[in-house]
Amino acid sequence: MNGDVVKTIEFRIRRYDPDTKKSYISTFKVPIRRGTTVLDVLNYIKENLDEKLTFRRSCRMGICGSCAVNVNGKPMLACYTQVLDLNADIITIEPLSNLPVIKDLVVDIQPFFQKFRKIRNVLIKPPESFKVQGEFIQSPEDLKKYWDLTLCTKCSICYSACPAAIDERYLGPSALSTNYRFIADSRDEGLEERLKPPADNIWLCTSCNSCTLFCPKLVNSSDAIVETRSLLVESGVVPKTVKDVLENVMRYHNPLGILQSKRMAWAEGLNVKTYPKVNRADVLFYVCCLTAFDVRHREIVRTMASIMDKLGVNYATLGIEEWCCGDHVLRMGEKGLFEMLAEHNIAVFQKFNANSIVTISPHCYNTFKNERPYKDLQLNVQHYTQFLAEAIEEGKIKPTKPYNKRVAYHDPCFLGKRNQVYDEPRRILQSIKGLELVEMRRNHESSFCCGGGGGRVWTEEAEPEKRPCIERVKEALELGVDVIAVACPLCIATLEDATKVLKAEDKIVVKDILEILKETL
């Protein structure tokens, strides 16, 4: 390491001793210069401070993928990560998650590589066609379809960050995107064979986006998984649970299979304005299927309506003309059905003259903000936590009653990882007197998914200990909190279910931020 020392940083390294089978932390102070990487730091410690420190590295150029570790909770390549970019005075380095640790920072990557044995990662083509054609010429357009997927270095970062990979049946993001890389290649003729390995396990993906977010080579495994699901849907090879959800949406326009005429049952006794009686309002309040139909969620949406009433907001809902936003349908690969839902909703948005939308669910929020054709409308879309945080900061809402509880906030993936909304939900909780807000071990970008996205909330059939929600509630229990605060209907459904499975309902409760806020107003 050359150049002037910019600062000295404390590194806490989680190590594992295979003889005693114990993990422990070693702390080292290391001088950091401009350009010093995390791998330089590990080398420095080994050469100068503790020669027994064990870690993997080879190319030192981000090619071999062997130096992946968790740095301050996020998986990354040690040789690719400059220490000063981390902007931290204390840095914790740990072995990758989801993989057995061999020694110190070295994990056993066999479980990750074994998944590749289930797919063919060479072109499938009858030998004669090789002979006849002699060479393959690919157009740039053709290459574009899968080129990014070829950049995968098999570092196992995506696998270590994947909540679905706690179930060993799941092939994992890298193997699935490699499989799709060949599907997208026009020279490959093995579609039928390619669709077999993912057919029964690809539905475990929760669309949390961690694989894409943390990939050092920007491989979009998340989209490759949706594309593969799309082909499975097209070929009719889908589990009954998935088929039922898609059929419900097709017939009833919501995944629960409940008649649309019941969609406004939540508003009974309230004076909620509804389209088409009202065809113009400042804010379109988009309720979400689970919130509208499931009685567990009724108080949440009623509270939001009451708060908007008190604030004097001129809002209205689409009433029974609100169809599912289509997020799950899209992630499940049913693009045609998604388009049908979007076409309907957009037509009503336009009749309603909507330009501002407030949503209860981060999934509706993400869909309207980022998915075509909704995105093209360029609506001002807010999640309710953004709307309320603003109102609290402007002094329009004042939580006055104390809430004397220890609370951990669970970041919903579609709000956090997909849209970087981390602060507003926390700011609402921090505005409440008596509430002690603590952070889960995995928080913000490295938060661990509840397991409900990508349609899995409707199709869950994994054994309890293989469900992400169980792991997440265990993490909250270790923290000794009274409440897990959430801001997404799917997180309520999955995490609350996990407290029941773990028989921990008397120790911990799951509450939406709106439910907590209601108790303090």
Given the rule CB under 6 A, which residues bind ligand FES? 57-60, 62-67, 77, 79
Query: In the numeric block, which tokens belong to residue 120?
Result: 């063919």
Q: Is 345 helix (H, G, I), strand (E, B) or coil?
A: helix
Nearer of residues 211 and 358 to ligand FES, judged by Cβ: 211
Element (H, E) at 194: helix 191-199
Q: Is 213 helix (H, G, I), strand (E, B) or coil?
A: helix
Q: How far is the CB of 55 from ligand FES (least distance, A)?
A: 10
Q: How far is the CB of 153 from ligand FES (least distance, A)?
A: 6
Query: In the numeric block, which tokens belong to residue 178?
Result: 């490699």
Nearer of residues 66 and 386 to ligand FES, judged by Cβ: 66
Q: How far is the CB of 39 from ligand FES (least distance, A)?
A: 6
Nearer of residues 38 and 325 to ligand FES, judged by Cβ: 38
Q: In degrees to the nearest 10, what's the CA dihedral of 247, 249, 251, 256?
A: 90
Q: Is the dihedral of CA 474, 423, 304, 208 positive or negative?
A: negative
| β-pair type (356-359, 283-286) | parallel
Q: How far is the CB of 144 from ligand FES (least distance, A)?
A: 26
For 440, residues 6+ apart whose C-beta sits below 8 A from its C-beta are 408, 409, 410, 447, 448, 472, 475, 476, 479
Q: How far is the CB of 382 from ligand FES (least distance, A)?
A: 40
Nearer of residues 105 and 485 to ligand FES, judged by Cβ: 105
Nearer of residues 78 and 358 to ligand FES, judged by Cβ: 78
Q: How far is the CB of 401 from ligand FES (least distance, A)?
A: 53
DSSP, res 47: I
Determine the angle formed by the axes of helices 384-393 and 298-311, rounding to 10 degrees. 40
CA distance 33 to 456: 46
Element (H, E) at 331: helix 327-331
Burial of 20 (0-12, 13-18, 19+ CB in 10 A): exposed
Q: How far is the CB of 58 from ligand FES (least distance, A)?
A: 5
Nearer of residues 149 and 155 to ligand FES, judged by Cβ: 155
Nearer of residues 43 and 201 to ligand FES, judged by Cβ: 43
- The answer to whether 212 and 224 are in contact (CB under 8 A) is no
Q: How far is the CB of 148 from ligand FES (least distance, A)?
A: 18
Please state the separation of Cα 427 from the chain's center in Å: 21
Q: Is 308 helix (H, G, I), strand (E, B) or coil?
A: helix
Q: How far is the CB of 330 from ligand FES (least distance, A)?
A: 34
Q: Is 95 helix (H, G, I), strand (E, B) or coil?
A: coil
Q: How far is the CB of 185 from ligand FES (least distance, A)?
A: 26
Closest among 412, 404, 348 to 374, alpha carbons compared: 348
- The answer to whether 160 and 98 are in contact (CB under 8 A) is yes
Nearer of residues 60 and 396 to ligand FES, judged by Cβ: 60
- The answer to whether 149 and 177 are in contact (CB under 8 A) is yes
Closest among 270, 188, 272 to 231, alpha carbons compared: 188
Nearer of residues 59 and 259 to ligand FES, judged by Cβ: 59
Per the document, the length of the chain is 521
Nearer of residues 69 and 364 to ligand FES, judged by Cβ: 69
Nearer of residues 113 and 422 to ligand FES, judged by Cβ: 113
Q: How far is the CB of 79 from ligand FES (least distance, A)?
A: 3
Please state the separation of Cα 211 from the chain's center in Å: 9
